[in-house]
Amino acid sequence: MPVEGLIRIDENRLEVPPTYKPGMRTNGIIFVDEELEKELEKESIEQVANVATLPGIVGSSLAMPDIHTGYGFAIGGVAAFDLKEGVISPGGVGYDINCGVRLLRSNLTKEEVLPKIKELVNTLYNEIPTGVGSKGKIKLDSSSEKELLKKGARWAVENGYGESEDLERIESGGCIEGADPSIISDKAYERGRAQQGTLGSGNHFLEVQYVDEIYDERAATELGLFKGQITVMIHTGSRGFGHQVCTDFLEIMERAARKYGIELPDKELACAPFNSPEAQDYLSAMRAAANYAWANRQCLMHWTKECFIKVFNISPKELGLTLIYDVAHNIAKIEEHVVNGKRLKLVVHRKGATRAFPPGHPELPEMYRKIGQPVIIPGDMGRYSYLLLGTNKAMQETFGSTCHGAGRLLSRHQAIKKAKGRSISREMEDRGIIVRSAGRETLAEEMSEAYKDVSNVVEVVHRAGISRKVARLHPIGVIKG
């Protein structure tokens, strides 16, 4: 059944017209086909409409096909704001600031790894801290923590966790300038100090995969990919540090919205004018949390490499475990975009959405200028993940953005209820996927049925032209918190 009040533009896009809700300054666009439209939640459509009421919004309030209800913005939401009239909203970034994903390639093949996959998964699980409140191997004092917040992944490399060439293959070089450690609360510091170098819980994971399908041979070759090759995907963010930064600033922004007379359809969209001290402080703190997350994924990659070397008893050169790319999913960034023929500086909020810059974009590393930015789309632990590339159409239509994953279908509570009496780990092993997790509940929350089929999500963005498929990746081993 089509959702009442929405207008289908074409096979991949629905419009939320400005008449959908009083106060909308622009329309909403949701990238879904008719099949995914059946799974749209009323609340998430409301959230797309709510974002369209915010001051200074430029273009449409956007949502990707993995859309589901979030805090303030829908997860899958994208919105750009003018730097003069626009706002910054923590709800447009989320609690897990710079939750993101990185993809590694190797010289190993599926045939070489499968006989040792259980040993590999157990080693990874033992060496990489997972679970709620997990504590990492890295001990930070006050001075080193502040340095990490300023330098991001560069801090990790300087301290022996990886190579300098890794930094070229991370969005923003693994560090956003302008982080200000002085405005971070003591509680955020306390939570972050013990959690650097941890995977965490929930939907965060480390996954051993193989390339099971290639759609673009030329691009795959440029990226160093071949069929049957082993890859590794790491999905995590800024842990308790980023969560506390968001919590601290939601209170500040609620007061700011009242102070500046901003009328909100939902208090979860608490915001402040871009040029206000409150917004600038949030941006500085958010950048610190983003840098924390990039350092985190860099450290996890380093230990992953050590685990592979130990299990397969090979040299780093023989292993060839190198970074393809690392992308942020929850972030607000100042970018240049062309709107109605004018080049404008905008602050683009991506909340559960991936940057998808096209070939030739100056922010891309030289090695990817010909093909476009790698876009990494994790699915669920029982099906597939994808590697795509950014496109010119994404720059024209979505401020250089695309989807970020499969998108939840069931709440965590619903998933646990549905899994009652089942052994999800045994079901996964029967499908040839070895899983280690800190708890049975996590596996229940993250089972395949809890998510949309990522293949359907990826088909929409591919057909719509806002990113294009390069390869499909199949899981064989997973560790979760």
Q: Where are the domains of the chain?
A: 7-480
In angstroms, the CA 407 to CA 349 distance is 18
Sequence-distant contacts of 359-367: CB under 8 A, at least 24 apart? 359/390, 359/392, 361/390, 361/395, 361/400, 363/172, 365/168, 365/169, 366/168, 367/168, 367/169, 367/222
pTM confidence score: 0.96
Sequence-distant contacts of 58-61: CB under 8 A, at least 24 apart? 58/82, 58/86, 58/339, 58/344, 58/346, 59/26, 59/339, 59/399, 60/26, 60/27, 60/28, 60/29, 61/16, 61/26, 61/27, 61/28, 61/29
Is 202 strand, coil or helix? coil
In angstroms, the CA 227 to CA 212 distance is 6
Say whether 404 is catalytic: yes
**pLDDT, average across residues 208-223:** 98
pLDDT at 2: 64
Q: Of 337, 349, 404, 462, which one is the catalytic site residue?
A: 404
Residue 158: which residues within 8 A CB-CB, separation 6 or more? 151
| Sheet hosting strand 7-10, strand order edge to edge | 7-10, 13-16, 28-31, 57-68, 75-82, 342-351, 330-339
Q: Which residues pair with 345 in a beta bridge?
A: 336
pLDDT band, very low/low/confident/very high, at 139 (cuts 50, 70, 90): confident
Is 435 strand, coil or helix? strand
Q: Cβ atoms within 10 A of the Cβ of 131, count? A: 17
Fold of 7-480: tRNA-splicing ligase RtcB (3.90.1860)
pLDDT band, very low/low/confident/very high, at 129 (cuts 50, 70, 90): confident
pLDDT digits (tens, 9 = 90+) for 387-441: 999 999 999 999 999 999 998 888 888 999 998 889 999 999 999 999 999 877 8
Is residue 96's pLDDT more than 70? yes
**pLDDT, average across residues 277-303:** 98
